[in-house]
Amino acid sequence: MTKSPALPDRFHDVEHLEEVMTTPSTALVAALENLPGDIIVLGVGGKIGPSLAQLAKRAAPGKRVVGVARFSEKGLREKLAGCGIECIEADLLDRKQIDALPKLANVVFMAGRKFGSSGHEDLTWAMNAHVPALVAEAFAGSRIVAYSTGCVYPYVNVHHGGATEATAATPPPGAYANSCVAREGMFRYFSRTRGTPGRIIRLTMRSTCATACCTMSPRAYSPANRSISPRATST
């Protein structure tokens, strides 16, 4: 079994933390070596995107890693470019700008409106439901990994086993949670109707730690297993 790099006793500063976070394990290096095609990260400017893109580039320096965002954060584009990541400024609400993006084989979808929905619910719906439909249609020939959230699950009594896929039809109230259900629905729809292979990753926040819950079929990707096929999970 391959191991991840050993963690230091302490982090000296943010730069040291990021260096550790973006140091690939031997397992990741091997996995990306066997992955056909290059990688494009849509929504690379968020909380996780910059580290993920750097990690991918360090694990597979010979692959083309493209990061797409509005790049509103000062200095981020220059930082990523300095790491060998090709940066493209684009507004994913604009179909023409999506169509102009390079159609690489592997898509990591991280775009979305996460907080501050009150008063701008229409924008939340557009980003979390409309944009996934545009991307799924434009990248129908790619493999797509879409980041989502545990908020697609309803609140349940913790003494009764937790939420499952079967109860997810009634999510917590609010535009954010409901639009995230729509996001997953868009990717599933285009996967079913266009045969686009992919997976949905749900990020669940617990206090100050985050765990990624991969809602996918237990079968590995193969030409015979091309669709997004989530299964019930509990965390």
In tens digits, the chain (235 residues) has pLDDT values of: 455 667 888 888 888 888 888 889 999 999 999 999 999 999 999 888 999 999 999 999 999 999 999 999 999 999 999 999 999 999 999 999 999 999 999 999 999 987 666 778 889 899 999 999 999 999 999 999 999 887 776 667 777 766 665 455 454 457 788 888 899 999 999 999 988 888 999 887 643 333 333 333 333 333 333 344 333 333 2
Closest CA relative to residue 113, chosen from 105, 122, 103: 122
**E strands, the chain, where?**
39-42, 65-69, 86-89, 106-109, 143-149, 198-206, 209-215
Closest CA relative to residue 146, chosen from 112, 172, 104, 97: 112
Give me 47's structure tokens.
């909380």
Q: How many CA atoms lie within 13 A of 58 on its CB side?
A: 19
